[in-house]
Amino acid sequence: MARKFLYIVAALIVLVIAGGFIIRIYESELTELAFVPTAKFEKQAAFEPSKYAGNDMWFARPGKIGNPADWLPTGAAKAEIPGSAAIFFVHPTSYIGRDYWNAPLNDTQSQDRARLFLRGLASPFASAGEMWAPRYRQAAIGAFLTTKPEGQQALDAAYQDILLAFDEFVAKVQKDRPIILAGHSQGALHLTHLLKDRVAGKPIAKRIVAAYVVGWPISVTADMPKMGLPACTGPDDTGCIMAWQSFAEPAEYDRMVKVYNATNGFTGQPRKDTAMLCTNPLNGGAAPAALMKANLGTLKPDDKMITGALIVGAVPARCDNKGFLLIGDPPEIGPYVLPGNNYHVYDFPLFWANVRADAAWRLRKYLQK
């Protein structure tokens, strides 16, 4: 398993259903798959405060051997001198079982999948510094496919683990060290709450190089005022948020908008008809649109799913007026595309080299201030 390509992050149905909020849009199509847990929800016992003090509860952290995020695609040079940032990365959903509402940490399959996700999604950040990626009792994919209260309870329980891991991360990292936050899908959802609860209005906000909250909708007016950081408006900005949700054209996201419009944001105000945050990963948020020549490299796996290569100039990117990132004609990057030309599972790989360069450049600008 460990030798298989990171980017089984686009393999099996896991990657098609790892979309959290997005998958709720396709609830009617996926109900027949019966991913909703059949077990009674059991409240998880809270971890003791020292749970994350050792290596066992981390996929990656300084001093732990076998960091999955150290993987690099063919043609990507390893950084001669790693950056000075501390990176906190929250992986997406990897548990598709029905036996539990929250994934047990001894579930081998979901833990192996999470490692593979980290190899594909966290690897762009690894050259910017030391990677910290916690294990956590993630909500099962079925939590996103039901209106039962157990679904939200499972997400709330998973978030408590993330909070504990983050507090340990902050306690162990040097007090003046710059921080990069990143997550995708369920991981991005937890990151939005983390920004609200642990960053907004607190001294640590001054240490944030950037937060990459990718693959989850964020309302510019109903969420961001409570998240403590503004949107990135250019590659030189620091202490800001990068966020996008990728669609090829023609994009069909009406069902996603319908679910989004039915929810309230962190301010308590409705998200209905509010713009979603979209920062273009090809130009650091400097403009809504960028040509494909600005794409430094899209990650594509080989046929055997063992390695991958970077394709320069594969896709352009343009934020539309609703806040979705449009990438033009559907690229041939892999078969795991959601209905409506939704490239959710490829949010990071589509712009792998740009994300890597963006994180390194923002760190440089942060250190110059």
Residue with tokens 């039915």: 262
Instruction: Report the pLDDT value the prediction gives residue 306, as an integer from 0 to 100.
Output: 64
If one compares 27 and 216, the residue with the highest pLDDT of the two is 216
Give the pLDDT confidence score for residue 147 in this predicted structure. 77
Q: pLDDT digits over 252-264, tens only?
A: 999 889 889 999 9
Provide the pLDDT for residue 332: 85
List, for residues 46-83, the tens digit of each pLDDT value: 999 999 999 999 999 999 999 999 999 988 888 888 89
Query: What confidence tier does 6 reach under pLDDT thresholds 50, 70, 90?
Result: very low
User: What does the pLDDT read at residue 300?
Assistant: 87
Amino acid 361: pLDDT = 98
pLDDT band for position 295 (cuts 50, 70, 90):
very high
Q: Which of 17-31, 43-57, 61-75, 272-286 has the lowest mean pLDDT?
A: 17-31
Concatenate the DSSP letters of all residues of 246-285 into one string.
EE-SS---HHHHHHHHTSB-TTSSB-TTPPBP---TTTTT
Contacts of residue 125, defined as CB under 8 A and 6 or more positions apart, other chains included, come to 69, 87, 89, 131, 180, 182, 212, 355, 356, 359
Give the best-scoring range by mean pLDDT among 136-145, 268-277, 330-339: 268-277
- Closest by Cα among 262, 269, 191, 279 to 228: 191
Q: Of the ranges 38-42, 95-99, 115-119, 189-193, which is most confident? A: 189-193
Q: Tell me which of 335 and 368 has the higher pLDDT.
A: 368
CA distance 138 to 186: 8
How do residues 120-146 score in pLDDT, each as one tens digit?
Answer: 899 999 999 999 999 999 999 888 777
Residue 167 pLDDT class (50, 70, 90 cuts): very high
Would you state the pLDDT for residue 305?
56
- Residue 300's nearest CA partner among 9, 93, 18 is 9
Decide if pLDDT at 303 tops 90.
no
Question: pTM of the entire structure?
Answer: 0.92
Residue extents of the structural domains in the chain: 6-368
pLDDT confidence band for 304 (50 / 70 / 90): low
Average pLDDT of every residue of the chain: 89
pLDDT at 235 over 90: yes
Q: pLDDT tens for residues 182-193? A: 999 999 999 999
Residue 19's pLDDT band, with cuts at 50, 70 and 90, is: very low
